[in-house]
Amino acid sequence: MEVIIAPSTGEASAEAARIVAALIRAKPAAVLGLATGSTPMRLYAGLIEMHTHAQLDLSQVTTFNLDEYVGLAPDHPQSYARFMRDHFFANVNIPPGRIHIPDGLAPDLPAHCEAYEAAIRDAGGIDLQLLGVGSDGHIGFNEPTSSLGSRTRLKTLTEQTIRDNARFFASPQEVPRHVITMGVGTILQARRCLVLAFGGKKAQAVANMVEGPVTADVPASVLQFHPRCALLIDEPAAALLKRSSYYRWVHANKPDWQRP
């Protein structure tokens, strides 16, 4: 796993945006796996800026979102479909037919999950999967003890995740208890993973992910097995890494051809 420690959240997000943009320019029909929440918002803003002012064309890009709340309509203010529309899709030129987000109102959830997996396969697989890391080490909504070979499915949220997400709702009671999420196995099949984690509250999860054992108790730790995974973090999120000086040295001495 490549660990990139940036001086600030803004600089980490800018580098992440450059990585995604470089992929799109090299492969205009790239398939992107996308994430929601506050962590990737600056990355999306950077891509919008490049689309608007630097001729970044996304018209051939296909996207698959990681997850969605069960029971929320796409226009609900806290649905991930609404988040993506407001913070990204409404400001770039990805055709609506190329945008895929799990349907939290699907009448047959198991069948919908199987169809979502099939759509990813039919698109040729995900070229780059964008991820955040939960404070308990979850990725997507794959909570601790999730199967490391799991596929897109229904999951019940932990109390910790409900508390973490309650800030987006009027009260914790309004946070849905169930979600649709890509599985850990689905994520691992992406050809490249790009993980973002910011702030001191993520420091323990980052340390467990990078330097701890691979365990279902920390689903993000399975990314140690991924052949091409980059983790971009700010200084507070790097605070508990034992080998931070090594990660800084490696990144500072990368050959130019490895940089976006």
Q: E strands of the chain, at which residues?
A: 2-6, 31-34, 62-65, 67-69, 99-100, 128-132, 153-156, 178-181, 193-197, 229-234
Evaluated on CA atoms 260, 85, 157, 188, the torsion sign reads negative
Contacts 24+ apart (CB under 8 A), 95-100: 95/59, 98/60, 98/61, 98/62, 98/63, 99/62, 99/63, 100/62, 100/63, 100/64, 100/65
Q: Is 127 a catalytic residue?
A: no
68, 103, 117, 136: which one is catalytic? 136
Nearest to 157 by CA among 219, 35, 76, 70: 70
Question: Is there a catalytic annotation at residue 138?
Answer: yes
Residue 122 catalytic? no
Instruction: Kindly report the backbone phi and psi dihedral angles of residue 121, in degrees, each rounded to the nearest multiple of 5, phi listed first.
Output: -60, -45
Task: Please identify which of the residues 15, 103, 127, 138 carries the catalytic annotation.
Answer: 138
Give which of 135, 123, 178, 124 is closest to 153, Cα–Cα: 178
Q: In angstroms, rounded to a whole number, what is the distance separating the alpha carbons of residues 165 and 28?
A: 34
Q: Residue 155 forms beta bridges with which residues?
A: 179
Q: Which of 15, 68, 127, 143 is catalytic?
A: 143
Give me the catalytic one of 67, 103, 127, 234.
67
114 an active-site residue?
Answer: no
For every residue of 60-120, DSSP letters joined together read T-EEEESEEETT--TTSTTSHHHHHHHHTGGGS---GGGEE---TT-SSHHHHHHHHHHHH
- The residues carrying an active-site annotation are 67, 136, 138, 143
